[in-house]
């Protein structure tokens, strides 16, 4: 990892020194154990603070819209898929973007790490090959990195950036696409069971909109929840129906656009299982149209194209 960090620094410094870009968006060490944090380098000296680690979990595509001039971004697989999707939606100009692609085999989920230590606070974490040593206030635990990854990383088969101007590190071997078992299980439940799940999950929602704001594809100038006239949705949070309505509309709006990076679920302070919802349209769009968002620059976005062969299974019910 430290080797990759050095290469990233080198690439960023060169780009800034040669004035090929005026900004490099990447990660620097955060203030907490296992916490990389988004960082904006505008000079070669600032680029020295860039890093790469198992905690660079944020989707940096979120920061690229509205940035003036030429911008470089340190982008793992999911960041690049979001970038590609944003380019197709005319939100980013490929010509103004320099992608420093970093193959990624997954980022560590702090919640899983915390669970390992019980009520102890995680004070430090050391990487050691394919394991990590997690140091708590009273004891240490060694765990396999593979067991600690975010669920979205476990399901991801696009760890290799699909588009890049420069690649840091080695491309990873191809990974099989994940099944959608947890979605199938959820689909198999009765309406009442699904409803009960939604009520229980969304009674936790505090409407902080961290999910929406962490999502690179949620870029509406005015989100429907913020609109007062007409008021599409109740502004109060005591009503679980409104909490559900917010998320369901968000998920529908992401159909065919969501790259399943998991940023929404990571951002949620209340630990709501959001990917169970966002992955349903990911599965449907793949099954119905054999389409995935942001996997290449050529395909049209699934919902922006039409062929006579398109499945109509969802229109007709036998």
Partner 1 sequence: MIISKKDIPGFLDKLISEYQVFAPVQEGSFTLFKPISSGTDVDLTAANTKLPAKEIFFPQSEKLFSYNVTEEGAKVEETLDEQKKVIFGVRPCDARSLVLLDNVFDNDKFQDPYYLTKRANTIMIGIGCNTPLSTCFCTSVNGSPFDTKGLDLLLVDTGDAYVVEVISDKGKALAEQASLAAAADADKIAAAKVKEAATVTCQVNIDGLKDKLDVNFYWPIWDKIHEKCLGCGACTYLCPTCHCFDIVDDAKDCNGCRVRNWDSCAFPIFTLHGSGHNPRTSNKERYRQRIMHKFKYFVDNFNEIACVGCGRCINNCPVNLDIRVVLEDVRGSEARLDS
Binding site for partner 1 (CB under 8 A): 30-32, 35-40, 58, 62-63, 111, 114-115, 119, 121, 123, 137, 204, 206-210, 212-214, 222, 226, 228, 234-239, 263, 266-267, 269-271
Angle between helices 240-253 and 275-289 (to 10 degrees): 30
| Residue 62 beta carbon to partner 1: minimum distance, rounded to whole angstroms | 7
Name the CA dihedral angle for 153, 158, 162, 166, rounded to a multiple of 10 degrees: 50
Q: What Cα–Cα distance (Å) separates residue 79 from each residue in 23, 30, 174?
A: 17, 19, 18
| Residue 209 beta carbon to partner 1: minimum distance, rounded to whole angstroms | 5
Cα(234)–Cα(95) distance, integer angstroms: 42
Choice between 163 and 198, CB closer to partner 1: 198
| Residue 311 beta carbon to partner 1: minimum distance, rounded to whole angstroms | 36
Cα(104)–Cα(115) distance, integer angstroms: 24
Cα(257)–Cα(220) distance, integer angstroms: 13
Choice between 238 and 314, CB closer to partner 1: 238
| Residue 21 beta carbon to partner 1: minimum distance, rounded to whole angstroms | 16
| Residue 58 beta carbon to partner 1: minimum distance, rounded to whole angstroms | 6
| Residue 233 beta carbon to partner 1: minimum distance, rounded to whole angstroms | 11
Choice between 212 and 253, CB closer to partner 1: 212
| Residue 17 beta carbon to partner 1: minimum distance, rounded to whole angstroms | 21
Q: Is 11 helix (H, G, I), strand (E, B) or coil?
A: helix
Choice between 132 and 233, CB closer to partner 1: 233
Choice between 10 and 271, CB closer to partner 1: 271
Choice between 5 and 285, CB closer to partner 1: 5
Taking CB atoms within 8 Å and a gap of at least 24, the contacts of 162-165 are 162/77, 162/80, 162/81, 162/84, 162/294, 162/295, 162/296, 163/80, 163/83, 163/84, 163/99, 163/101, 163/296, 163/297, 164/75, 164/80, 164/99, 164/100, 164/101, 165/98, 165/99, 165/100, 165/101
Choice between 52 and 180, CB closer to partner 1: 52
């Amino acid at each position: 990892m430290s080797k990759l960090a050095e290469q990233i620094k080198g690439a960023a410094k060169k780009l800034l020194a040669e004035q090929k870009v005026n900004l490099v968006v990447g990660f620097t060490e955060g203030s907490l154990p296992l916490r990389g944090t988004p960082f904006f380098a505008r000079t070669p000296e600032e680029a020295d603070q860039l890093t790469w680690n198992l905690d660079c979990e944020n989707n940096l595509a979120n920061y690229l819209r509205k940035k003036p001039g030429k911008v470089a971004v340190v982008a793992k697989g999911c960041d690049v898929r979001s970038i590609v999707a944003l380019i197709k939606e005319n939100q980013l100009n490929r010509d103004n973007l320099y992608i420093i692609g970093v193959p990624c085999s997954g980022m560590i989920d702090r919640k899983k790490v915390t669970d390992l230590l019980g009520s102890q606070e995680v004070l430090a974490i050391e990487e050691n090959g394919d394991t990590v040593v997690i140091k708590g206030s009273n004891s240490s635990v060694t765990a396999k990195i593979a067991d600690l990854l975010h669920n979205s990383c476990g399901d991801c088969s696009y760890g290799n950036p699909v588009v890049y101007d420069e690649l840091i590190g080695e491309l990873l071997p191809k990974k099989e696409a994940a099944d959608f078992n947890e979605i199938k299980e959820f689909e198999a439940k009765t309406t009442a069971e699904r409803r009960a799940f939604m009520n229980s999950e969304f009674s936790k929602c505090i409407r902080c909109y961290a999910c929406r704001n962490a999502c690179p594809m949620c870029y509406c100038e005015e989100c429907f929840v913020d609109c007062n006239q007409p008021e599409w949705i109740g502004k109060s949070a005591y009503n679980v129906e409104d909490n559900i309505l917010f998320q369901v509309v968000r998920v529908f709006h992401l159909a065919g656009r969501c790259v399943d990076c998991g940023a929404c679920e990571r951002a949620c302070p209340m630990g709501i299982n959001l990917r169970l919802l966002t992955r349903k349209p990911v599965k449907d769009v793949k099954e119905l149209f054999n389409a995935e968002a942001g996997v290449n620059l050529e395909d049209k976005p699934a919902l922006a194209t039409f062929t006579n062969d398109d499945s109509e299974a969802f229109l007709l019910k036998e």
